[in-house]
Chain A
Amino acid sequence: MSFEPLKQVTSKTLVLPATNIDTDQIMPAKFLSMTTKAGLGEHVFANLRYHADGTKTDHDLNSPEGQASQILVAGHNFGCGSSREHAPWGLTDYGFRVVISSEIADIFRNNSLKNGLLPVIIEKRAHDWLLDNPGADVTVDLDKCEVHLPRNGGTYGFEIDAFSRHCLMEGVDEMGYLQNQSDAITAFEASR
Chain B
Amino acid sequence: MTSRNSKTLFDKVWNRHVVVAETETNPATLYIDLHLIHEVTSPQAFTELKTRGLKVRRPDRTLATIDHSTPTRINADGSRPYVTPQAETQVETLLANTEAHGIETHGWDSDNRGIVHVMGPELGATQPGMTIVCGDSHTSTHGAFGAIAFGIGTTQVGHVLANQCLLMPKPKTMAINVNGELPSGVTPKDVILHIIAEIGIGGGTGYALEYRGNVFEQMSMQGRMTVCNMSIEAGARCGMVGPDQTTFDYIEGRKFAPENFEAACEDWLSLCTDDGAKFDKEVDIHAEDIKPMVTYGTHTGMGISIDSLIPAAQSDADQAALDYMQMTSGEKIAGTKVDKVFIGSCTNSRLEDLRAAASIFKNNKVADGVTTIIVPGSVITKYQAEEEGLDKIFIDAGAEWREAGCSMCLGMNGDIGAPGDLVVSTSNRNFMGRQGPGVRTVLASPETAAATAITGVITDPRKMGAAA
Please give me the residue from chain A that is nearest to B236 by CB atom. A106
CB distance from B132 to the nearest CB of A (A): 14
With contacts A77-B201, A178-B159 taken as known, whether A162 is within 8 angstroms of B412 at the C-beta atoms is no
Tell whether, in the assembled complex, residue A35 and residue B159 are in contact, meaning their CB atoms are under 8 Å apart. Answer: no
Chain A 112-126 interface residues, beta-carbon cutoff 8 Å to B:
114-115
Return the contact of A107 from the options B137, B298, B431 (Cβ within 8 A). Answer: B137
Q: How far is the CA of A105 from the CA of B201 in the complex (A)?
A: 10
Tell whether, in the assembled complex, residue B201 and residue A185 are in contact, meaning their CB atoms are under 8 Å apart. Answer: no
With contacts A81-B137, A107-B153, A110-B153 taken as known, whether A20 is within 8 angstroms of B317 at the C-beta atoms is yes
Q: How far is the CA of A107 from the CA of B137 in the complex (A)?
A: 8
Q: State whether the Cβ of B329 lies closer than 8 Å to any Cβ in chain A.
A: no
Contact segment of A22-30, A65-73, A147-155: A22-30
Tell whether, in the assembled complex, residue B235 and residue A106 are in contact, meaning their CB atoms are under 8 Å apart. Answer: yes
CB distance from A37 to the nearest CB of B (A): 6
Please give me the residue from chain A that is nearest to B94 by CB atom. A35
Q: State whether the Cβ of B246 lies closer than 8 Å to any Cβ in chain A.
A: no
Q: Mark B150-171, 1 if CB is under 8 A from A, else 0.
A: 0111111011001111010101
Please give me the residue from chain B that is nearest to A34 by CB atom. B86
Tell whether, in the assembled complex, residue B69 and residue A33 are in contact, meaning their CB atoms are under 8 Å apart. Answer: yes
Return the contact of A114 from the options B137, B156, B315 (Cβ within 8 A). Answer: B156
Q: How far is the CA of A32 from the CA of B68 in the complex (A)?
A: 10
Tell whether, in the assembled complex, residue A185 and residue B19 are in contact, meaning their CB atoms are under 8 Å apart. Answer: yes
Q: State whether the Cβ of A57 lies closer than 8 Å to any Cβ in chain B.
A: no
Inter-chain contacts of B201 with A (CB < 8 A):
20, 77, 80
CB distance from A44 to the nearest CB of B (A): 14
Inter-chain contacts of A32 with B (CB < 8 A):
40, 68, 412
With contacts A1-B48, A77-B201 taken as known, whether A111 is within 8 angstroms of B155 at the C-beta atoms is yes
With contacts A83-B135, A163-B167, A177-B167 taken as known, whether A184 is within 8 angstroms of B19 at the C-beta atoms is yes
Tell whether, in the assembled complex, residue B155 and residue A115 are in contact, meaning their CB atoms are under 8 Å apart. Answer: yes
Tell whether, in the assembled complex, residue B431 and residue A24 are in contact, meaning their CB atoms are under 8 Å apart. Answer: yes
Q: Mark A137-162, 1 if CB is under 8 A from B, else 0.
A: 00000000000000000000000011
CB distance from A150 to the nearest CB of B (A): 26
Inter-chain contacts of A22 with B (CB < 8 A):
299, 429, 431
Tell whether, in the assembled complex, residue B164 and residue A84 are in contact, meaning their CB atoms are under 8 Å apart. Answer: no
CB distance from B376 to the nearest CB of A (A): 21
Tell whether, in the assembled complex, residue A29 and residue B412 are in contact, meaning their CB atoms are under 8 Å apart. Answer: yes
Tell whether, in the assembled complex, residue B202 and residue A103 are in contact, meaning their CB atoms are under 8 Å apart. Answer: yes
Inter-chain contacts of B86 with A (CB < 8 A):
33-34
Q: How far is the CA of A179 from the CA of B158 in the complex (A)?
A: 12
Inter-chain contacts of A20 with B (CB < 8 A):
201-202, 298-299, 317
Tell whether, in the assembled complex, residue A188 and residue B135 are in contact, meaning their CB atoms are under 8 Å apart. Answer: no
Q: State whether the Cβ of B401 lies closer than 8 Å to any Cβ in chain A.
A: no
Q: State whether the Cβ of A93 lies closer than 8 Å to any Cβ in chain B.
A: no
Q: Mark A152-192, 1 if CB is under 8 A from B, else 0.
A: 00000000011100100000011101110110110011000
Q: State whether the Cβ of A76 lies closer than 8 Å to any Cβ in chain B.
A: yes
Inter-chain contacts of B29 with A (CB < 8 A):
178, 181, 184-185
Q: State whether the Cβ of A63 lies closer than 8 Å to any Cβ in chain B.
A: no
Q: Mark A76-115, 1 if CB is under 8 A from B, else 0.
A: 1100111111001000000000000001011100110011
Tell whether, in the assembled complex, residue B41 and residue A83 are in contact, meaning their CB atoms are under 8 Å apart. Answer: yes
CB distance from A171 to the nearest CB of B (A): 14
Most buried by A among B171, B202, B419: B202
Q: State whether the Cβ of B93 lies closer than 8 Å to any Cβ in chain A.
A: yes
Inter-chain contacts of B433 with A (CB < 8 A):
24-25, 28, 47
Q: How far is the CA of A114 from the CA of B160 in the complex (A)?
A: 14
Inter-chain contacts of A181 with B (CB < 8 A):
19-20, 29, 163, 165
Inter-chain contacts of A163 with B (CB < 8 A):
25-27, 167
Tell whether, in the assembled complex, residue B40 and residue A33 are in contact, meaning their CB atoms are under 8 Å apart. Answer: yes
> Chain A, interface size: which category?
35 or more
Tell whether, in the assembled complex, residue A182 and residue B163 are in contact, meaning their CB atoms are under 8 Å apart. Answer: yes
With contacts A22-B429, A85-B154, A177-B167 taken as known, whether A33 is within 8 angstroms of B202 at the C-beta atoms is no
CB distance from A48 to the nearest CB of B (A): 10
With contacts A107-B152, A174-B167, A181-B165 taken as known, whether A30 is within 8 angstroms of B299 at the C-beta atoms is no
Tell whether, in the assembled complex, residue B235 and residue A80 are in contact, meaning their CB atoms are under 8 Å apart. Answer: yes
Inter-chain contacts of A76 with B (CB < 8 A):
202
Q: State whether the Cβ of B206 lies closer than 8 Å to any Cβ in chain A.
A: yes
Q: State whether the Cβ of A19 lies closer than 8 Å to any Cβ in chain B.
A: yes
Most buried by A among B69, B156, B171: B156
Please give me the residue from chain B that is nearest to A76 by CB atom. B202
Inter-chain contacts of A55 with B (CB < 8 A):
none
CB distance from B253 to the nearest CB of A (A): 25
Q: Mark B42-72, 1 if CB is under 8 A from A, else 0.
A: 0110011000101001000000000011000
With contacts A24-B431, A82-B137 taken as known, whether A106 is within 8 angstroms of B155 at the C-beta atoms is no
Tell whether, in the assembled complex, residue B48 and residue A18 are in contact, meaning their CB atoms are under 8 Å apart. Answer: no
Q: How far is the CA of A52 from the CA of B419 in the complex (A)?
A: 10
Q: How far is the CA of A173 from the CA of B429 in the complex (A)?
A: 32
Q: State whether the Cβ of B237 lies closer than 8 Å to any Cβ in chain A.
A: yes
Q: How far is the CA of A162 from the CA of B235 in the complex (A)?
A: 23
Q: Which A residues have a C-beta under 8 Å from some C-beta of B?
A: 1, 18-20, 22, 24-25, 28-30, 32-37, 47, 52, 75-77, 80-85, 88, 103, 105-107, 110-111, 114-115, 161-163, 166, 173-175, 177-179, 181-182, 184-185, 188-189
Taking A106-B206, A178-B162 as known contacts, 17 extra A-B pairs with beta carbons closer than 8 A to each other, sorted by chain A number, are A1-B158, A24-B431, A33-B89, A36-B44, A36-B47, A76-B202, A82-B137, A105-B202, A163-B27, A163-B167, A178-B29, A178-B165, A179-B54, A179-B163, A181-B163, A184-B19, A185-B31
A-B contact pairs, 11 of them (CB 8 A): A20-B202, A24-B432, A24-B434, A25-B433, A29-B412, A82-B429, A175-B158, A175-B162, A175-B163, A181-B19, A189-B31
